[in-house]
Amino acid sequence: MASLIIGNSRTKDMVGEMAMLTPDEREHAGYAALRVLWFAKVGDVVVLPRLPRADYLAYIVGHTRTDIDSLTILAPPPGNDGEDLLTPDRMADTAFRERLRATVRERRVNDVLAVYTDAAIVDLVDAVNLAGALPGRPFAAARGASLINSKVVFRALAAGVGVAVAPGRVVTEPGEAVRMVGELLADGHSAMLKKEFQCGGFGNEIVSATDGVRPAGSNRVVVLSDDTAIENYVAQRWDWLTVGGRDGLVVERYLPDCDTVYAEYLLRDEGPGLIGTGQILMEPVAVGEIVPALPLTEAGHAELVNEGERLCQCIHTMGYRGYLSIDAILTPTGDIVFTETNGRMSGGTHLHTVVRERLLTAAQRPDRVLLERQGWTVQSFAAADQWLTRNDLGFDPVTGTGVLLTSDHLPDGTVTYCIVAPDLAAATAVASKLVSTPRTTDLASTASRTSGGAL
């Protein structure tokens, strides 16, 4: 038996409005989708927005010990918005569906794993006769996943369950936003404004009455010195914050100097199970992760996991099935304040389910820290891989330590890397070596990249 793995790395429910993505954001999202190749096992069928480069694919299957010839990798023809994203029109292509239907029948696929289970995924799996293979299909078919990823709905669920959230409320009118922001600033606090749908902190803005506030979870801090400035700001940003008034807006107290942590679960029919915890590195938006969540004390870890499981039980009862990441912040006083739920494969799912569970032995796992970061500038993927090998820094399964290249060479000339080490100090030392190294010598690659077709 095999799985159908679908790399729909960005959807409307994740980013609020696809048209608001810049060309660079679309291109990066297309490359991020290739990360689902880490989940592939023998016989699997993988659907991507574009076919992977040969060296990146060979690198992944070399580490996961997957027979490359056993995989079928498909990419539908480019759609109205190009080849970067798996948009609904691409997945509705007739010839693509016919090919996929025949392939999943031949491979006896009995499970579907998508980054995000929206209505387009339900439509696709129904069309290729895999309706029974999609976990939580009834909930997904009713567009339930958007509820789990809504920051507005999150506050309602958190209130119902009784877990801690930052003081604030959901607003639906500009005047409400002006009043709420004004109250927070008048009380000496800064305010965090959160779009209902976005990820990585890119849908948040911080506003403050004074300079000097360090942003985390948002790209910027806007200084608003009086009521007129608040009114003007809300008027100017309302359409962006609410997608033209379509979505709700969360306005809450900004809690500075916090660590961002999370607990990730897998919700099966029998119930939720913890797969791991981690820390999201915000500089000022998400740039990487540390696994496990090292800033937490033993008591803090228990609180994060136990309170997170209460949210999980609620969401499981609603009918959601799949990966669920529950995010929180750890305040300087040790309090844990929950911030959102993400019903999808997260930026750390591969760290827990592939790197820890498949690449490390049971004996190695308790004594390893994973540090993943974006932005190592290199000439090419092959050059980076060879540099790591020459310098004895590549991942070694025998010792369970070393560097993995978890992304392909991105359009901005960087790769994402994951350092597996005995502790954070050792991982940080390796990271320093990488970022201080001059760009690796370019190695010509004959690998090609194709936007439509199959491997």
Q: Are 38 and 122 in a shared domain?
A: yes
Domain match, 237 and 267 both: no
Cα–Cα distance, 5 to 112 (Å, whole number): 6
State how far the Cα of 260 lies from the Cα of 197, in Å rounded to an integer: 18
Residue 235, CA atoms < 13 Å, CB-side half-sphere = 6
Of 204, 224, 253, which residue is a domain's last? Answer: 253
> The tokens 């999370």 sit on which residue?
262
- Quick one: 8 and 139 in the same domain? yes
Q: Is residue 275 part of a domain?
A: yes
Task: Report the CATH number at residue 192.
Answer: 3.30.1490
- Predicted local confidence at residue 446, as pLDDT: 30
Give residue 345's pLDDT. Answer: 95
Question: In tens digits, what is the pLDDT along the chain, a chain of 455 residues?
Answer: 899 999 998 766 665 566 667 777 788 888 889 999 999 999 999 999 999 999 999 999 999 999 999 999 999 999 888 889 999 999 999 999 999 999 999 999 999 999 999 999 999 999 999 999 999 999 999 999 999 999 999 999 999 999 999 999 999 999 999 999 999 999 999 999 999 998 778 889 999 999 999 999 999 999 999 999 999 999 999 999 999 999 999 999 999 999 999 999 999 999 999 999 999 999 999 999 999 999 999 999 999 999 999 999 999 999 999 999 999 999 999 999 999 999 999 999 999 999 999 999 999 999 999 999 999 999 999 999 999 999 999 999 999 999 999 999 999 999 999 999 999 999 999 999 998 876 654 433 333 333 456 66
| Whether residues 248 and 263 fall in one domain | no
| H or E stretch at 253 | strand 249-253
| Same-domain check for residues 59 and 88 | yes
| Amino acid present at 240 | W
CA distance 223 to 208: 5
Look up the domain containing 297 and give its range.
259-344
Number of folded domains in the chain? Answer: 3
Instruction: Decide if 381 is inside a domain.
Output: no
Q: Which of 204, 223, 253 is the last residue of a domain?
A: 253
335 and 236 fall within a common domain: no
Give the pTM: 0.93
Residue 88 in domain: yes
61, HSE (Cβ side, Cα atoms, 13 Å): 19
For residue 439, what pLDDT is reported?
Answer: 62
Return the SS3 of 18.
helix
- What does the pLDDT read at residue 25? 77
